[in-house]
Chain A
Amino acid sequence: MKKSVNIDEKIGATKFFVDEEYAHLKIKSPEVCHNCLSKPCLNFCPAGVYRFSDNKLVVSYQACLECGSCRVGCPFMNIHWDYPRGGFGVSYKFG
Chain B
Amino acid sequence: MESYSFDVVIVGGGPAGLACGIKLAEKGVNTLLIERGRFCGSKNLFGGVVYTSSIKEIVPEFPEVSQSPVERPVTEEGYIFFSTKGVVKFFHTKSDSQEAFTALRARFDAFLSEYALKKGLLIAPKTKVVDIILENFKVSGVIVDRPRSFKDLRPAEVKAKIVILAEGVNRLLTEKAGLVKGPFKPEEVVLAIKEVLQLPKGELEKRFGLNEKKGLAAELIGEITSGLPGTGFLYTNTNTLSFGIGIFLNTLVNSNLKPYEILERAKAHPYLHELLDGAEILEYGAHLIPEWGLQGLPKLYGNGVMVVGDAAGLVNPLFREGTNLAIYSGIMAAETALEALEKGDFSEKTLKSYEERFKESYIYKDLLLFKNLKKFLLNNRQIFETYPNLIYEIFSLYFSAQGQYKKEVVREIIRTIKRKRGLFGVLKDIINLGRLFW
Contact = CB atoms under 8 A, between A and B. Distances in A.
Interface of A: 1-5, 7, 9-11, 13-15, 17, 38, 40, 43-44, 46-48, 65-69, 71-73, 75, 81-87, 89-95
Interface stretch (B38-46, B336-344, B402-410): B38-46
A95 B285 contact: yes
B317 interface: no
A65 B109 CA distance: 18
A38 B256 contact: yes
A72 B249 contact: yes
A3 B268 contact: yes
Given A11-B284, A38-B256, A65-B285, 12 more contacts: A43-B252, A47-B286, A72-B185, A73-B186, A84-B128, A85-B128, A87-B37, A90-B42, A92-B41, A92-B43, A94-B104, A94-B242
A13 B283 contact: yes
Contacts of A82: 172
B284 A14 contact: yes
Contacts of B281: 9-10, 13
Between A4, A43, A86, the greatest number of chain B beta carbons within 10 A of the residue's beta carbon is seen for A86
B126 A46 contact: no
Interface string B151-168: 000000000000000000
Contacts of B240: 94
B186 A95 contact: no
B262 to A, nearest CB: 9
A73 B249 contact: yes
Given A86-B36, A95-B106, A95-B285, A75 B46 contact: no
Interface in B318-370: none
Between A14, A44, A66, A91, the greatest number of chain B beta carbons within 10 A of the residue's beta carbon is seen for A44
B265 interface: yes
Nearest to A68: B170
21 contacts: A7-B258, A7-B260, A9-B281, A10-B281, A14-B284, A15-B283, A38-B256, A43-B252, A44-B252, A46-B260, A66-B170, A67-B288, A69-B191, A72-B186, A89-B43, A92-B41, A94-B104, A94-B106, A94-B196, A94-B283, A95-B109
A95 B105 contact: yes
A85 B184 CA distance: 23
Nearest to B185: A72
A19 to B, nearest CB: 11
Contacts of A73: 186, 249, 252-253
Given A44-B252, A86-B127, A91-B42, A3 B265 contact: yes
B195 interface: yes
Interface string B250-270: 001110111111011100100
B228 to A, nearest CB: 12
B418 to A, nearest CB: 29
A71 to B, nearest CB: 6
A74 B323 CA distance: 29
Contacts of B107: 94-95
B281 to A, nearest CB: 5
Contacts of A75: 253
Contacts of B261: 2-5
A47 B287 CA distance: 11
Identify the 8 closest CB pairs spanning chains A and B, nearest first: A87-B126, A95-B105, A95-B106, A46-B286, A68-B170, A86-B128, A10-B284, A44-B252
B183 interface: yes
B145 interface: yes
Interface in B115-151: 125-128, 144-146
Given A43-B252, A72-B184, A72-B186, A10 B145 contact: no
Contacts of B42: 90-92, 95
Contact of B44 (A10, A47, A92): A92
A79 B344 CA distance: 42
